[in-house]
Structure 1
Amino acid sequence: MIDNLKKMRRAQTIQPFGVGAIIDIDGESFVVNDISKWRRPSQIVELERLNKLLGFKKELRSFSSFENPEESLTVSRFPQWHHCSKCSSLQLLDKALLEKHGEPRCGNCKSKSKLSPMRFIAYCNNGHLTEFNWWLFAHSNQQQANTGNCTVYDQIFFTTTGKHGGDFDQMIVKCRACDSPGVSLKRLQDRAIPGHLVYANNQACCGTQPWMVHPKMSRDKRMEVATTCKEVTMKFEPRGSSSIHRPKILSAIDISLKAKESNDFDSSALNLLLEDIIEEIGLDLCILSLESDDNKYETKIERYASQANISYEKALEFLINSAKKKLENDFGDSNDTEEEVDKKQENLLKDELDFFKKRIDVHQDNFDITFESTATGSKFTSLLFSHIAKIRRLREIRVLTGFTRGQGLVDVSVDISEERNWLPTIEAFGEGIYFELNKSTITKYFKEHGDEFSKLVRGQQQVLEKLNDNYLLDIPDSDLFILTHTLSHLLIRQLTFNSGYSSSALRERVFVDPDSNYAGIMIYTSELDAEGTMGGLVDQARIEAINLVLDKLNESAIWCSADPVCRETDSQGFSGLNRSACHCCSLIAETSCTFQNAMLNRLTLGGLGKERDEVSGLFNFIQELI
């Protein structure tokens, strides 16, 4: 396990270092364990529509804002095989050296050089993860009889020839004890051969996660924890690859217009007491015990009531009502189909879309928004946006529900053992701007240029359709989405310069209803640190400031410093899902984009029309209207 001196920010426990992720700290590599091995976070976070979407089955818990030794996530070292850059040996960690030096050290070198985690691991599309048995791999070119004669495990070496750019065929694993012929990693390039992994009988996949097993664990014990997996192969991959871990996150903005039910006392202590009672005797017996005349928890309730400065009767009533509410929620339908689970984030966004369509000014503690018409702005501004809203304060809840690997055939839960009644969560506050596109302009544009626009983006849509046959990508593909998503990225890039926030601090939420040609973009920041509420972003929501932003935006849509290469490239970016969109003009930080920097096309905005033998983009169309 990682020592107590290793720390990370609270937000990183959701992304990018949530359950199942590989994390490098000070040259050491770990994988984050599932929450059954965490010390439970103490802070309970509530958001009614998010709790309701999850069926009220799981509490949302976040780590405290202060250092609390009673709560922490845990990790396991992964991979266990390490490489010494000085003597080129491959070796499993020596626990004695690890405890002595506090970090992985080489057992072969006299100088006890620091070891580096082996770069390559194996995963399957159902979410399982393991490492290679490099001793078996080094002997894989020998006959089984010869392999069995070698019992030396500390003479495995990993070297590169230095020829031909150091590709996989130049990376060699060799056993010097039996002088077996070296085996190049090219043998693993297409697939991870089951014989080189610790795997379950009659299946090619290990069926486990790193925190469930250990390389020296007996085969029988591994079989006990391994699950059945029908994948025919595991993939060979560098451990830093983005395909190894993709978090499944639910994100919701607190936009509730209902008056929140609140107690006239601090109920946090009573909530903890109720949890302890339920954990001790169960929910059904908890209610019976609290309602009985012989209530064995009477003394505790009196003490907690005194702390909350309320009467015993009021505290007891609160506990009974809370317990009954939990019982009612337990009878809710929690058997979501796979399709319903996939649509949870879509449903959250739909709620927010319905709110923004109403253009209601709200002034609440956790959500403060004021809409303003763009009629007083420049002609270009008013034709592009009908309304702009200043979001002076917002509250965002992000919940980690699971993760996927590779093609993402299976969502792996953050609680594989299903032992916990909570989900890891973060609560962040910030500010933002909401841009509502001018529906009249959008409708006119698609009426006049819809055919050529569809022809422009059809290639991207076809690539996405093919990818969805193998990968579960939650990326919309409508014409209006591609246009709006590209505009969102250009706005973020420009607002980064104007607002004073770093490029990774701004986030996007894209709202699109193709049936009614409604589109909206929320650019916001919500972080747990001080960068969340500086006020620089809201200040850019002034109409005169937006006029200046759009002047620059028009230029960046028309011309990229990588043109004409960027402009004329039909396929680029993630799996070829982008066109005319590169790091110089359209891409933003991975954590800022909701859709993996995919389905972007700068020509949808900056296309110059027939004069340049290309589609007339939205900006060019607006200039013609002016």
Structure 2
Amino acid sequence: MTPPPSRRRRTGSNGAAPAHNLRRQGAIRRAQAITTYGVGALVAVDQESFVVSGLDGADQHWSPDESKRIHERRLERLLGVQHFRIPPASEDTSRDGMRVRRFPLMYSCPECNELRNHRDFASPTAKSICGTCEVDLVPSRFVVACEAGHLDEFPYWHWVHRSVEGGTTAGRCGGTLMLRSSGRTASLRSIVVSCTCGVPEASMEGSFRRGALKNLGLGCRGTRPWLGTSVPAEACSLTPRTLQRGSSALWQPVLKSALSIPPWSDGSADPLAEHWGHLREMNDPVHIEIYLKGAFGGNTPLPVDQVMELLQAELEEDPVDGDEAPSLDHRYRALRNKEYERLRAGNDGSERSRDEQFICERPRGDQAELGPLGITGPMLVKKLREVRALKAFTRLTDPDTTTEADEAALAVGELSWLPAMEVRGEGVFLRMDEDRLARWESRPEVVSRVERMRAAHQRLMGERASDPTRVPPSPATPRMVLLHTLAHVLINEWSLEAGYPASALRERLYAGDTMAGMLVYTATSDSAGSLGGLVAQGEPEPLARVIRSAVRRASWCSSDPLCIESEESGTGGTNLAACHACVMLPETSCEHNNILLDRALLVGTPEESALGWFSPLLG
């Protein structure tokens, strides 16, 4: 969504001037600063284009009143930070906001067709118009990026001089670049670049080929414009690719999230956020008491025995990974394991305080109705809090199919905090029957079908990874694909049955050797967040009815028989029987970018009707 038009900067409520004399350019919602227009992303505002600046110095210029600190200890520990901050507001009365830098710098004039650096058009202050023609300038439609996250201008000089001997010296000819559209078609062939030095004009056709810039003898320059012009370029051996300025492949957020679960979910541990590193080194309650008295001047926020309990909870969440330090992936799985245990167990009234942010109870109805469906252990999550943090971002590759080496940093220096959003809502948690699941996932036809997706996904990750030795294993297993596809059809069904838009619901999968569950919860904190409608669907009777209805709906797709008989679909063949007409969801609702889906594992295929988990329901 493009931000609204820019508005005149107002003074504060007391008539004082803004804290910083920076021109306001549009506005975005706070959540978009994490998911859509985060650090390193391009933002179009009116006739101009900007890249969201890095976070160096943001801790000082973000107002504490408009960008408060939040805590989620388990996620802070995972990401190695002390706290999170909510992105600043973009209201007219805001003292500051997300800062941006002009990018790309190449603009063209639709009247005289000149293609220059923006500053060379002699625009009046605070305007983006051609100083000669007095019409709005148009930012370059094309940029280049590489899979290491670097971003750069499209090399128009080299492109138009490529037919000239010694074309690598383009830019020294003394001519002026021109950009025009022939208007004959909407293709790249109609966009023509020329130079007044007299070289033959060249269309943009072919500029998007993978080897287009390599053929010009150009490599990635390692530039990171979101971090500022004073930041030196990085060494990079990759070949950049041409992209449209508005391409979704140009910026993908790397988000990490955690649910607030006991004993951390009442907020009582928040005052100790900056002290856990020291406290973890102490085993003696006496030493902990002395430290707390020194740190808080006698006004200790928690009794020593409660601090000891929290430290023990941290130790229980530490992953066991041999003698080596556990990777981020191992620690994230350990975080999920703990959530799974808490969702299974719930919390009774004796565990709650007035500030408790996690309420999970067993439904009152008879769960026998769920037995024939292979579903067990439903839990009503009447209150939950999720913190989603922006760890980094990627370009050209999806976050879940890249290694950490391909993640672009949000700042030049080390950060003790990250931007994040907190979501409060409700949800329904359910598990698959373990005995039945063990028999089903060992069936040869199930294993063979999932292996095709796993191999395609593994191959795709290998192709995209800069270091093939660091490619993580694909998460595709029979239980994972089953849970993932079931979560999708349930979200689609609840969007019809309970009146929730599909984009307001989100899945959280727990698939592993000892886990086989899913949480479907409200993904927004607005009016669709916590009205109780989703929790009501978790009672056994309505849950059984919804599952049966969802399975019957999934047994037929408007794209059948092409969909159900598909040998591969999705990116790189990572889906089988799955398309936008049956099980795919809005990307904000899916943990895995709509890959690793196969409704045949739910309902079977015409050739193997007994393949599906729910095949007995369909007769």
Which residue of 53, 58, 62 corresponds with 2:86? 62
Q: Match of 1:556, SS?
A: helix
Which residue of 215, 227, 243 corresponds with 2:234? 227
Cα deviation, residue 470, structure 1: 2.6
Distance of 1:314 and 1:14 partners within structure 2: 33
Distance of 1:137 and 1:150 partners within structure 2: 14
Q: Does residue 34 of structure 2 align to residue 34 of structure 1?
A: no
Q: Does residue 579 of structure 2 align to residue 582 of structure 1?
A: yes
Which residue of 147, 156, 162 corresponds with 2:184? 162
Q: Deviations over 1:76-96 (max 9, x none)?
A: 122122344555543322477
Cα deviation, residue 463, structure 1: 0.5
Aligned AA (2:199): S
Residue 299 of structure 1: aligned partner: none
Given that 2:373 and 2:614 are in contact with CA atoms closer than 8 Å, whether structure 1 keeps it comes out as no
Q: Does residue 73 of structure 2 align to residue 48 of structure 1?
A: yes
Q: Deviations over 1:50-77 (max 9, x none)?
A: 223234x432122467957455221112
Cα deviation, residue 595, structure 1: 0.4
Q: Match of 1:492, SS?
A: helix
- Larger helix share, 1 or 2: 1
Cα deviation, residue 452, structure 1: 0.8
> How is 1:339-358 mapped onto 2 (pairs within 5 angstroms)?
340-358=327-345
CA 1:562–1:242: 2 relative to 1, 3 Å: same
Q: Which stretch shifts more, 125-134 or 404-413?
A: 404-413
Aligned AA (1:240): G
Distance of 2:499 and 2:45 partners within structure 1: 29
Q: Match of 1:509, SS?
A: strand
Q: Does residue 426 of structure 2 align to residue 431 of structure 1?
A: yes
Root mean square deviation of aligned Cα: 3.8
CA 1:547–1:95: 2 relative to 1, 3 Å: farther
Q: Tell me the number of residue pairs that the alignment of Structure 1 and Structure 2 aligns.
A: 545
Q: Deviations over 1:275-304 (max 9, x none)?
A: xxxxxxxxxxxxxxxx9xxxxxxxxxxxxx
Residue 536 of structure 2: aligned partner: 539
Distance of 2:330 and 2:22 partners within structure 1: 36
CA 1:615–1:243: 2 relative to 1, 3 Å: farther
Residue 379 of structure 2: aligned partner: 389
Q: Deviations over 1:165-197 (max 9, x none)?
A: 62x45543112x223211233453223537979
Unpaired runs of at least 5, structure 2: 1-20, 276-289, 466-470
Residue 236 of structure 1: aligned partner: 242
Distance of 1:499 and 1:95 partners within structure 2: 57
Distance of 1:502 and 1:446 partners within structure 2: 32
Q: Match of 2:198, SS?
A: coil
Which residue of 115, 128, 145 corresponds with 1:104? 128
Distance of 1:119 and 1:378 partners within structure 2: 57
Q: Does residue 248 of structure 2 align to residue 249 of structure 1?
A: no
Given that 1:19 and 1:32 are in contact with CA atoms closer than 8 Å, whether structure 2 keeps it comes out as yes
Aligned AA (1:396): E
Given that 2:265 and 2:358 are in contact with CA atoms closer than 8 Å, whether structure 1 keeps it comes out as no
Cα deviation, residue 495, structure 1: 0.9
Q: Which stretch shifts more, 358-367 or 434-443?
A: 358-367
Residue 226 of structure 2: aligned partner: 211
Given that 2:56 and 2:412 are in contact with CA atoms closer than 8 Å, whether structure 1 keeps it comes out as yes
Distance of 1:577 and 1:338 partners within structure 2: 31
Which residue of 389, 405, 414 corresponds with 1:399? 389
Cα deviation, residue 557, structure 1: 1.7
Aligned AA (1:441): R
Q: Deviations over 1:530-560 (max 9, x none)?
A: 4322322222223332233123212222101
Q: Match of 1:522, SS?
A: strand
Given that 1:94 and 1:107 are in contact with CA atoms closer than 8 Å, whether structure 2 keeps it comes out as no
Residue 281 of structure 1: aligned partner: none
CA 1:535–1:41: 2 relative to 1, 3 Å: farther
Q: Match of 2:163, SS?
A: coil
Given that 2:431 and 2:518 are in contact with CA atoms closer than 8 Å, whether structure 1 keeps it comes out as yes
Q: Match of 1:393, SS?
A: strand
- TM (norm. structure 1) is 0.77
Q: Does residue 457 of structure 2 align to residue 460 of structure 1?
A: no
Distance of 1:158 and 1:246 partners within structure 2: 31
Given that 2:265 and 2:357 are in contact with CA atoms closer than 8 Å, whether structure 1 keeps it comes out as no
Unpaired runs of at least 5, structure 1: 215-220, 275-290, 292-311
Which residue of 522, 526, 530 corresponds with 1:525? 522
Q: Does residue 38 of structure 2 align to residue 18 of structure 1?
A: yes
- TM (norm. structure 2) is 0.78
> How is 1:32-431 mapped onto 2 (pairs within 5 angstroms)?
32-38=52-58, 39-40=61-62, 42=64, 43-55=68-80, 57-63=81-87, 69-85=94-110, 88-94=113-119, 98-100=123-125, 102-107=126-131, 110=133, 112-144=134-166, 150-153=173-176, 155-160=177-182, 162=184, 166=187, 168-175=188-195, 177-188=196-207, 189-191=209-211, 193=213, 204-212=219-227, 225-231=232-238, 233-257=239-263, 262=268, 316-317=297-298, 340-361=327-348, 363=352, 365-372=356-363, 375-376=366-367, 378=369, 382-407=372-397, 408=402, 410-412=405-407, 414-418=409-413, 420-431=415-426
Aligned AA (1:151): G
Distance of 1:53 and 1:419 partners within structure 2: 15
CA 1:481–1:19: 2 relative to 1, 3 Å: same
Identity of aligned residues (%): 28
Distance of 1:415 and 1:534 partners within structure 2: 36
Cα deviation, residue 22, structure 1: 1.9
Cα deviation, residue 568, structure 1: 1.6
Residue 511 of structure 1: aligned partner: 510
Q: Which stretch shifts more, 140-149 or 251-260?
A: 140-149
Cα deviation, residue 588, structure 1: 0.3
Distance of 1:196 and 1:339 partners within structure 2: 43
CA 1:206–1:608: 2 relative to 1, 3 Å: closer
Cα deviation, residue 490, structure 1: 0.5
Residue 442 of structure 1: aligned partner: 437
Q: Which stretch shifts more, 557-566 or 349-358?
A: 349-358
Q: Match of 1:565, SS?
A: coil
Q: Match of 1:14, SS?
A: helix
Q: Match of 1:575, SS?
A: helix
